[in-house]
Amino acid sequence: MFRIVINKIMPSATFHFPTGFLWGTSTSAYQVEGNNSNTNWNQWEDIPGKIFENQKSGKACDWWAGRWKEDMDRANATHQNAHRLSIEWSRIQPEINRWDESSLDHYREILQGLRDRGISPIITLHHFTEPMWLSEIGGWENDDIILFFDHYVAKVVEGLKEYCNYWIPINEPNVLAHQAYIEANFPPGKRSLKSAFKALSNMVKAHICAYSTIHRIQPLSRVGTAINYRAFWPENKYNPLDQFMTKTLHQQYNDAYINALRMGKLNFAFKKEKFTKTGSTFDFLGLNYYSGDEVKFNLLKPKDFFHQRTFPKLTEISENGFIANIPSGLENAIHWATKYNRPIIITENGIEDSKDQLRPQYIIEHIHKIWRAANLSVPIKGYFHWTLADNFEWERGWSQRFGLWKLDVVDQTRIKTKSADLFSQICKTNSLSSETINRFCPQIYSKIFPE
Ligand code: BGC
C-alpha cells in the first residue's frame, strides 16, 4: 500500500529590526535592590494587609549588595545591548537636608559595570517610591515636591551624566495616580479624585521642570516619559454607551498625562488645569504595554464609574489572571503614540508566568507587532522586556513572576527560562526569524505566517 505524503513547504522569513535597535530588560530600584528601608513603600509593606500575604521585598534581587553584577553578566551573555533601571531617591537624599554621596558612587559603579558590558542605560528617576521624609509632608499632594524633585534630578543628572543620556523623570504617572489615590493599593492608599488630580498635576509640573533641568545640565540628553498604555475596546461595538465608556477610560488613563505635557492642559478626574509650558517637554515616548480590556457600561457599578472591564473572550490569560495576551493592543498603543511625533521606545512589556508557558508566545507575538510597525517606518528605537529576574511586584508581592530568569528569593539562585534563550536569539540577530519561532513556539507558526 502506498501512502502519499504531501510535504507542505513552510514559508520562511526573517524580520529584521533597524540597525542600532535597543534590546534589553527593564527594572526598578525598589523591586530589585533590596533593603530600601528609607522609602514610603517600606513603611507600606509593614502595614498588615497591604501586600499579598504580607510578603516583604527584603533583599529583592539583592542588587544593592552586588548581585547586579551577575544579572548584568546574564544580560550581556544573552546579547542585550541596553538596560532600563531606576535610581532610588531615598538613597540619594535620605533626609530633607542631606545628600548621600556614597549612594551616587554606588550607582556610578553600576553604570560603569553596564558600560563595561556594552549595555546602554536608560535611567528612570522616580519609579513609584519616594523618601519617607517626603511622604510625611504629603508626597505628590504637596506642591513643594516639584522643587524637591527638581533638586534631586539635578543632583543625580550632574552625578551620572557621564554614563547616561536617556532619562525618564517619572515612571507611569497614570498608574501612580490611579493606584495611590483612587484604587488605594499603593501608598498613601487614598480614595480621592481630588488627591489623584492634585498628584497628577504635580507630576506634570515636576516633569516639565525636570525636562529643562536635565537639558540645562546635559544639552544633548534625551528626556522622555514612560506611560502605561492600556488598550480598551467597547464590549459591544454597536452600543453607544459602551463606546462612550471606552473613550472616557482611554482619555483618562492613556491620554491625560501626555496631553498635558504636549498641550499644557490636564483633563483628569473631572477636573481641568492649564499649564504654562514653553517649548518641548519630551524627546521620546516610552510605552509600557501589558494588556487590554473590553469595556461595558454598567449602571450597577457606580463605584467603578458605571463600567466594568473584562478580558476579550478567547485570549490566553496569565497565571494569576493579571494579563491577557493581546498583541493587537500593542499595535493600538504604537498607533496612538505616533500622533505625538516623537521616537517611541517600548520601555516595558511582559507577562507573569512562573512556569514560562505562555511567555515565549507573548514575546514573539508582541515583538512581531513591533517589527510590523517599524517596517512601516514608525520610529521605534527599542524594546525593554519586563523583566530580567523575578522581582518584587508591589502590592502583589512575590506572587507574580515576570522574570526571564526565575528567582529563588531565599537563596537568591536564578534559573534561566526558555524565554531568556528566545529573547537572546532575537537580541543577538536583531531579528525575529521563522526558524526561531519554530524552535521556541511552533504552535503559533501559522498565526504569524497564515497560509
Ligand atoms: C510597572 C512595574 C511593574 C510591572 C508589572 C508596570 O506597570 O512599571 O513596576 O512591576 O508593571 O506589574
Span 319-360, pLDDT tens digits: 999 999 999 999 999 999 999 999 999 999 999 999 999 999
Which protein residues are within 6 Å of ligand 1, measured from CB? 28, 31, 171-172, 175, 228, 288, 348, 386, 393, 402
**Which pLDDT value is given to residue 450?**
81
Mean pLDDT of 424-429: 98
**Which pLDDT value is given to residue 3?**
47
**Which pLDDT value is given to residue 6?**
44
* Range of weakest confidence among 86-90, 275-279, 402-406: 275-279
| Nearest protein Cα to ligand 1, atom 7 | 228
Q: Which atom of ligand 1 is nearest to the CA of 387?
A: 10
**Which pLDDT value is given to residue 279?**
78
DSSP conformation letters of 177-231 = HHIIIII--STT----HHHHHHHHHHHHHHHHHHHHHHHHH-TT-EEEEEEEEEE
Q: Are strands 414-416 and 405-407 parallel, antiparallel or unpaired?
A: antiparallel
Which of 186, 253, 385, 386 is the best mutation target for the ligand 1 pocket, counting ligand atoms within 8 Å of the beta carbon and taking the most? 386
| Nearest protein Cα to ligand 1, atom 9 | 28
CATH 3.20.20.80 fits 21-429, yes or no: yes
Identify any residues that bridge with 268 across adjacent strands, giving them in sequence order: 271
- What is the pLDDT confidence band of residue 362, given thresholds at 50, 70 and 90? very high
Measured CA to CA in angstroms, residue 404 lies from 84, 297, 363, 386, 433 at distances of 15, 38, 11, 8, 20
Tell me the CA–centroid distance for residue 403 and ligand 1, in Å: 12
Instruction: Give the mean pLDDT of the chain.
Output: 96
| Nearest protein Cα to ligand 1, atom 3 | 393
Tell me the CA–centroid distance for residue 27 and ligand 1, in Å: 9
Domain layout of the chain by residue ranges: 1-17+431-451, 21-429
Which of 393, 396, 399, 400 is the best mutation target for the ligand 1 pocket, counting ligand atoms within 8 Å of the beta carbon and taking the most? 393
Which of 348, 385, 398 is the best mutation target for the ligand 1 pocket, counting ligand atoms within 8 Å of the beta carbon and taking the most? 348
Mean pLDDT of 115-128: 98
